[in-house]
Amino acid sequence: MKRLLLLVCFVFIFFVQAEASIVYFSLGANPKRFIPFLAVDSSSGEISSYIFNGLLKLDKNMKIVGDLAKSYEFEDGGKKIIFHLRKNVYWQDRVKFSVKDVIFTYKLITDPKTPTPYAGKYKLIKKIYAPDNYTVVVEYPYPFKPALYSWMMGIVPEHLLKNSKSIATDEFNRKPIGTGPYKLIEWKNAQYLKLEAFDGYFIHKPNIDTVIYKIIPDSTTALLVLKNGKLDMLSLTPLQYKYEFKGKYRNRYRIYFEPSSGYTFLGFNLKLKMFSDVRVRKAICMAIDRQQIKKTILFGFGKVADSIYPVNSPFFSDKTVCRYNPEGATKLLESLGYRMAKDGFLYKNGHKFEFTLYTNQGNTQRKYAAIMIQQYLRKIGIDMKIRIMEWQAFLNMVNERHFDAIILGWQLGADPDQYSLWDSKSDFKGGFNFVGFHDKRVDKLIEKARVTFDKAKSRKLYSKINDLIVHQYPYIFLYYPTSIVAINRKIKGIKPTNAGIMYNFIDWRY
């Protein structure tokens, strides 16, 4: 009897161990590269976040806390930051994490040969050194407000990259090794990525053993895969949630609503003569009924955007930048010399007012917004064509500045610093100021805000930065979409926080 009981127990234990937990998610585009400071598109950034850690991170209440650093402190009136590193951290190849990796990462980011838009947050550093094996000291010439946020950037391993001839093309971008909770073990280009829980993760091994991301560029196809039970989580469009995801499907999935941390915009290439006059850009804004776009596309799940800051930012402004006024738009363009011809289009000096608006495939909200904008502009005599592009081809075109206008979106973090998006020095190939916005007043205000710690003074500076930018219309701010996420009810342990629904993912259970 005892021998039989032992056999039964053995079989049961073996069965439990063999039943690995697997969840299936989706990506809307094929990633490009996973080195954190090169992973600038949303797909690459999402996967990279599983693999790498920064020295610091945001907790569930959006407060800065330690990550690879167990703690930190300021000295010398805020000009010096001392990071105390954890001692139990290993890279996913079992090599121990060290201070050398931190200093190496800093040198890579600030290397002129590294094509990253984030270098501006580190170039102010006067000195970085390690007094011992578990301490990193960073010195600035003066207190620098974005400093702590900058050290949330993922740290990369010196021992695997120190001999790299080109960080942008290194094989490490496809086969990354980090300190994070998951390791990338397989990537079938344009098909799927497979992540496996790292049992050496310094917090604890994630409860879910395997995460498989299916690459599904089309949102309609992604919804069909979800309905067939082949996905465990998916971000739904408002249209999908309201009309296409009802009944039995909602019985299988919980729906989570998250306030937007970003916005969707129409951006102009300001280097082009047709968009060089702010009055032209304002007229285009006046010609677009953004409230109707919001109602038609978002079905109430979101709001019209009028600010460079997301709605959950303390610096968010809800002042209306421009109101729908097609008659006013027409008069403004006429005052600039545009005249309506017999064909129903505007001309100036014999040149037709026409341009092409680009956006990425798979995002139905952007596609429908483009169609509505096309119709609004046609009414006042502007001939706008639409081109939908594959994601990576679209990003390459944007980075090369080979566009007239685009519809794109930003997901913004807690750092209110606007240097990367709006400072003149961020207008370079691969930089985030790809519309080519230049304003010396904005540059000076950004510089001042970066060294201002008084909350009331900071608020005034950020407000001035916002007002100067939005009233020059480098973007037509369109809308803040509410995030609608469907998650399989079999997944337990989800605790939505201000830091996002995925904040405690390592504690989820399936």
Strands (DSSP E) contained in 20-97 are: 22-27, 56-58, 64-66, 69-75, 80-85
Q: Enter the tokens of residue 70.
A: 């167990």
**Domain annotation for the chain: domains and CATH numbers:** 22-30+172-259+487-507 (3.40.190.10), 54-158 (3.90.76.10), 262-481 (3.10.105.10)
Apex CA 432: angle with CA 430 and CA 434, to 5°? 80
The amino acid present at 408, given as its one-letter code, is L
How does DSSP classify residue 97? P
CB neighbour burial string for 68-90, b if at least 16 within 10 angstroms, e if fewer: bbbebeeeeeebbbbbbbbeebe
| Listed residue (359, 50, 377) closest to 184, CA to CA | 50
Q: 23: how many CB neighbours lie within 10 A of its CB?
A: 21
Distance, in Å, from the CA atom of 434 to the CA atom of 330, rounded to the nearest integer, reads 28
Largest Cα span, the chain: 99
Burial zone of 188 (CB within 10 Å; 0-12 exposed, 13-18 middle, 19+ buried):
exposed
Burial zone of 133 (CB within 10 Å; 0-12 exposed, 13-18 middle, 19+ buried):
exposed
Do 127 and 107 meet the contact criterion of CB atoms below 8 Å apart?
A: no
Altogether, the residues listed in the chain come to a count of 510
How does DSSP classify residue 240? I
How does DSSP classify residue 486? E
Helix (H, G, I), strand (E, B) or coil at 129: strand
| Listed residue (288, 351, 346, 350) closest to 321, CA to CA | 288
Do 403 and 236 meet the contact criterion of CB atoms below 8 Å apart?
A: no
Query: What is the pLDDT at residue 88?
Result: 94
Per-residue H/E/C for 444-479: HHHHHHCCCCCHHHHHHHHHHHHHHHHCCCCEEEEE
Q: 98: how many CB neighbours lie within 10 A of its CB?
A: 19
| Listed residue (464, 419, 424, 426) closest to 149, CA to CA | 419
| Listed residue (124, 480, 196, 163) closest to 313, CA to CA | 480
In order of 135, 372, 473, the CA distances from 378 in angstroms are: 61, 10, 20
| β-strand pairing of 354-360 with 383-389 | parallel
Distance, in Å, from the CA atom of 62 to the CA atom of 305, rounded to the nearest integer, reads 23
| Listed residue (29, 26, 54) closest to 413, CA to CA | 54
Query: What is the pLDDT at residue 4?
Result: 34
| Listed residue (408, 469, 413, 432) closest to 265, CA to CA | 408
The amino acid present at 286, given as its one-letter code, is M
How does DSSP classify residue 497? B
The dihedral sign for the CA sequence 95, 99, 102, 103: negative
Q: Please give the chain's pLDDT, 510 residues, in tens.
A: 333 333 333 334 334 444 789 999 999 999 999 999 999 999 999 999 999 999 999 999 999 999 999 999 999 999 999 999 999 999 999 999 999 999 999 999 999 999 999 999 999 999 999 999 999 999 999 999 999 999 999 999 999 999 999 999 999 999 999 999 999 999 999 999 999 999 999 999 999 999 999 999 999 999 999 999 999 999 999 999 999 998 889 899 999 998 878 999 999 999 999 999 999 999 999 999 999 999 999 998 999 999 999 988 889 998 999 999 999 999 999 999 999 999 999 999 999 999 999 999 989 999 999 999 999 999 999 999 999 999 999 999 999 999 999 999 999 888 999 999 999 999 999 999 999 999 999 999 999 999 999 999 999 999 999 999 999 999 999 999 999 999 999 999 999 988 889 999 999 999
**Phi and psi based region of residue 391 (left: phi greater than 0; alpha: psi -120 to 50; beta: remaining):** alpha
| Listed residue (184, 180, 191) closest to 211, CA to CA | 184
Residue with tokens 């610093």: 417
Whether the pTM exceeds 0.75: the reply is yes
What are the residues whose beta carbons fall under 8 Å from the beta carbon of 500, sequence distance 6 or more?
A: 258, 261
Q: Enter the tokens of residue 319.
A: 């002042």
Query: What is the pLDDT at residue 8?
Result: 38
